[in-house]
Structure formats: structure tokens, C-alpha cells
């Protein structure tokens, strides 16, 4: 829930002239960081403005956060994975309407001597690639407290994506609905989407999948600080440590093996500026995949089973979310305070990134605490409701 002082902040930004926007964001972010004790970045990009503000300190070294520091984006990785698969579709290597097993089973057999049907039962044969990307497979999620607890307790161990799939296969029921019959948010879909990309690319080693191939060759170094961390210590690429909440409130997230992030469902390490750049290039400039594919990614359906039921609309690796106090649900693009992008809530980090259509601008907000999400929503509220 957004705290009441968000309303005050909305008023502050509403009154700010465009030329003072960066200063206003910096002032508010500094205040929030002091109040809550988190490290944070907020990036904004439009045709006329391009800046990043930061606040707080790294909890390990005590140094001040800079715009070049990197954070873990969690499920903010999913749009990148969707684009990876869609690029393979554009190249004729993947078909969205084909069973996912067409591309996945060969990899699963090599890695674990199994198949989608072997893991999830006969219904899995009906799951298409498109179902995975649109959160319509019906598969249950591995992301439950017992799984998370065990993962963090053995955080220094290498965890194959197969562990995540086996975790999903142990849930009851395995399928929340028949494939294609519901829209239900589950990270299991995006582990399998990674295997689709791996299989279609002819790969055999999950850690060798080149997720960075989605970035345009003409990007001129804009994404050089983006890492898709698969194994090795997180702090090889992560420069700001996180603090995990919930059952794991006192767990410092920094030196664990990167495989705890869940591969293609959650392994992006990046500064906020590069995330804002990605969404601008994808949704505004439409430079990453063909424009028709970008439009097709925004064929929305409300989540109607499970987490966030009725609160979020999902497309293909993209969400519509809402930050306005006066929101109606499910959110609709064009209503004040709505944006298209994706959120992330992983061990020690919270993120929201996307595009505000009313401003034709992109943003990214990231913080290093997974303890209470109000401050991230405040930052989003500033951007969505504070400009007029």
C-alpha cells in the first residue's frame, strides 16, 4: 500500500516545471531514502529529458550510491526474455502457436532425462510458446515460501533451472487451469521460455544462453552495464547489496550464487538508466523488435486466477499497472497513473520499469530492500501523477 505522504509528493511534482524535474525527483528520493534507509535509483527518459537520480548507501561498503551502480531487477527480467523469444520468432526459429515441448523437450532430456509431460503431466503437451509468454499455460508457480527458504539457505550453491521446474511440478495442483483457459502469473512460464530460446538456438548449456543478443548492435554501449547473471557470485556484477524481507528479513543479498535469481525469469542485473533505455527503445522508438511484434505484445488480458487477480493486465512479457489513488481495476492504459512495463520483487530488491504513454517517456525505479513496497510506489506515483 502506498503511504499517505505520497499525496504530498504528487502535489510537489505537479507543481514542478519540466526543467526542474530532475531536481524535484532527487529531493524526494533523498528524503525517502533517509526515512526508510534504502539505496535507490530512479531513471527517466523522454525525447527531451534523460537523467538518473540516486540516493542512499551500499549497506556493505557504506559508500554513496551513484547512477552507475547496479541492482537486481527480479521479474523485471521477463520483458527481456519475451523479446529474446520474439526475436527468434522473427527469425523463423520459433512459432508461438507450436507446443513449447517442440523446443524444450530435447534440452530437458539432455539435462535431466525428462520432458514437459514427464514433469507436469499430459496437459503439458497442450502448452504453446505463446501460452508461456502470455502467462496462460495454467502451470502453478515454484515461487512459494518453502522453496524460497531452501534456496536462500543454500544460496552459495549453484542451482540449475531444473530445480525451479521440479519445484513447480511438486505444487498441487500442477495446473491451475487448462492451458489457454486462464491468465495466471507464474514465473514457471519464464523458466520454460528460457528453455524454448535455448532449444531453438541449438544450445545445450543453460548458462551459455546469450540473453544479451536482444540489444541492438547500434546501441553504442548503452547496455554495457546490463548483465544476465546465471552463475558465480552475485557481486561479480551486482554493486549494491540487498536486504531480503519476509521470512528472510535479515538476509544480506550480495555474495550468493547468481543462480538463485531463477535464470530467465529473474536474472537481470542493471542500473536503472539502462532499464529505462530498454523500455524506451522497445516501446517508444520500437527499435528492438519489429513494430508489429511490439504492438502484439500489448494484447492485454486481466490476471484472473491467483496472484494479483483483477489488479494487473498482462500481455506478452508486459504488464499494465496503476499507481493512482483513484484507480479502477483492471487498469487501462490512458487512465491517469497507468503505465506499461513490468515489476520485479526478488530477494533483497524491488523494481518497476516501463513507459508512461501520457508522456511518451520511460522510467525505472529500483531499491535494495524487499521489505514493504511503499517507497517504490511513491516513486512511481511521482512520475505518473506528478507531471501535468
What is the SS3 assignment for 273?
A: helix
Percent of the chain with pLDDT over 70: 88
Residue 48 has pLDDT above 80, yes or no: yes
Query: CB of 69 within 8 A of CB of 40?
Result: no
Mean pLDDT of 321-350: 87
- Which H or E run includes 338? strand 338-346
**0.85 exceeded by pTM:** yes
Stronger pLDDT, 383 or 289, i.e. the higher one: 289
Q: Residue 5's pLDDT band (boundaries 50, 70, 90)?
A: very low
Contacts of 148 (CB under 8 A, 6+ apart): 246, 247, 248, 347
Query: CB of 323 within 8 A of CB of 381?
Result: yes
| pLDDT the model gives residue 204 | 84
Question: Which residues are registered as beta bridge partners of 51?
Answer: 44
Sequential DSSP letters for 120-184 = H-GGGGG-BHHHHHTT-S-BPPS-SHHHHHHHHHTTTS---HHHHHHHHHTSSSSBSSSTTS---
Q: What is the mean pLDDT of the chain?
A: 90
| pLDDT the model gives residue 105 | 98
CA 323/CA 239 separation, integer angstroms: 29
Question: Which residues are registered as beta bridge partners of 242?
Answer: 253
Mean pLDDT of 118-129: 99
Query: CB of 376 within 8 A of CB of 365?
Result: yes
Q: C-alpha grid cell for residue 203? A: 544450445
Q: Residue 167's pLDDT band (boundaries 50, 70, 90)?
A: very high
CA 181/CA 178 separation, integer angstroms: 5
Domains of the chain: 5-74+221-385 (3.40.710.10), 80-208 (3.40.710.10)
How is residue 333 annotated by DSSP?
A: B
Per-residue exposure over 117-136, b if at least 16 CB sit within 10 Å of its own CB, e if not: eebbeebbebbbbbbbbbbb
Q: Mind listing the pLDDT tens digit for each residue in 16-43?
A: 445 588 998 899 899 989 988 899 999 9
What Rg do the C-alpha atoms of the chain give, in angstroms? 20
Contacts of 145 (CB under 8 A, 6+ apart): 246, 247
Residue 330 has pLDDT above 80, yes or no: yes
Q: Mind listing the pLDDT tens digit for each residue in 64-102?
A: 999 999 999 999 999 999 999 999 999 999 999 999 999
| pLDDT the model gives residue 376 | 55
Question: Which one of 15-19, 146-150, 325-329, 333-337 scores highest in mean pLDDT?
Answer: 146-150
Q: Mind listing the pLDDT tens digit for each residue in 224-263?
A: 999 999 999 999 999 999 986 554 556 889 999 999 999 9
Q: Mind listing the pLDDT tens digit for each residue in 252-299?
A: 899 999 999 999 999 999 999 999 999 999 999 999 999 999 999 999
Residue 337 has pLDDT above 90, yes or no: no
Q: C-alpha grid cell for residue 290? A: 519489429
Stronger pLDDT, 109 or 28, i.e. the higher one: 109
Mean pLDDT of 319-324: 86
Check whether the bond before 173 is cis (ω within 30° of 0).
yes
Residue 53 has pLDDT above 90, yes or no: yes
Cite the DSSP H helix spans in 184-329.
188-200, 272-279, 291-296
| pLDDT the model gives residue 7 | 33
CA separation, residue 307 to residues 140, 169, 186, 303 (Å): 11, 18, 9, 8
Q: C-alpha grid cell for residue 362? A: 520511460
End-to-end distance of the chain based on CA atoms, in angstroms? 24
**Other C-beta atoms within 10 Å of 326: how many?**
9
Residue 194 has pLDDT above 50, yes or no: yes
Amino acid at each position: 500500500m502506498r503511504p499517505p505522504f505520497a499525496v504530498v509528493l504528487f502535489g510537489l511534482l505537479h507543481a514542478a516545471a519540466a526543467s526542474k524535474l530532475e531536481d524535484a525527483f532527487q529531493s524526494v528520493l533523498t528524503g525517502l531514502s533517509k526515512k526508510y534507509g534504502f539505496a535507490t535509483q530512479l531513471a527517466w527518459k523522454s525525447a527531451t529529458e534523460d537523467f538518473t537520480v540516486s540516493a542512499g548507501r551500499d549497506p556493505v561498503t557504506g559508500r554513496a550510491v551513484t547512477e552507475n551502480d547496479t541492482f537486481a531487477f527480479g521479474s523485471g527480467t521477463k520483458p527481456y526474455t519475451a523479446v529474446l523469444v520474439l526475436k527468434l520468432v522473427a527469425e523463423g526459429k520459433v512459432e508461438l502457436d507450436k507446443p513449447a515441448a517442440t523446443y524444450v523437450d530435447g534440452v530437458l532430456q539432455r539435462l535431466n532425462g525428462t520432458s514437459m509431460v514427464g514433469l507436469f503431466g499430459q496437459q503439458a503437451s497442450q502448452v504453446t510458446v505463446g501460452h508461456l509468454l502470455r502467462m496462460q499455460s495454467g502451470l502453478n508457480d515454484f515461487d512459494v515460501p518453502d522453496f524460497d527458504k531452501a534456496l536462500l539457505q543454500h544460496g552459495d550453491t549453484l542451482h540449475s533451472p531444473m530445480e525451479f521446474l521440479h519445484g513447480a511440478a511438486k505444487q498441487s495442483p500442477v495446473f491451475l487451469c487448462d492451458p489457454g483457459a486462464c491468465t495466471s502469473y507464474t514465473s514457471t512460464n519464464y523458466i520454460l521460455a528460457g528453455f524454448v530460446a535455448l532449444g531453438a538456438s541449438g544450445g545445450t548449456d543453460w548458462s551459455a544462453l546469450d540473453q544479451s543478443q536482444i540489444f541492438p548492435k547500434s546501441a553504442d554501449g548503452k547496455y554495457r552495464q546490463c548483465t544476465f547473471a546465471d552463475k558465480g557470485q552475485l557481486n561479480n556484477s551486482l554493486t549494491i547489496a540487498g536486504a531480503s524481507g519476509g521470512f528472510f528479513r535479515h538476509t544480506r543479498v550480495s555474495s550468493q550464487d547468481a543462480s538463485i535469481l531463477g535464470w530467465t525469469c529473474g536474472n537481470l542485473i542493471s542500473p536503472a538508466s539502462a532499464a529505462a533505455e530498454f523500455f524506451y527503445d522497445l516501446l517508444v522508438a520500437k527499435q528492438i523488435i519489429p513494430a508489429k511484434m511490439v504492438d502484439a505484445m500489448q494484447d492485454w488480458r486481466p490476471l484472473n486466477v491467483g496472484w494479483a487477480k483483477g489488479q494487473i493486465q498482462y500481455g506478452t512479457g508486459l504488464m499494465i499497472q496503476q499507481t493512482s489513488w483513484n484507480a479502477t481495476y483492471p487498469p487501462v492504459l490512458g487512465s491517469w497513473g497507468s503505465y506499461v512495463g513490468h515489476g520485479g520483487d526478488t530477494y533483497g530488491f524491488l523494481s518497476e520499469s516501463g513507459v508512461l504513454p501520457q508522456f511518451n517517456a520511460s522510467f525505472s525505479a529500483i531499491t535494495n530492500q524487499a521489505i514493504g513496497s511503499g517507497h517504490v510506489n511513491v516513486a512511481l506515483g511521482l512520475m505518473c501523477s506528478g507531471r501535468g
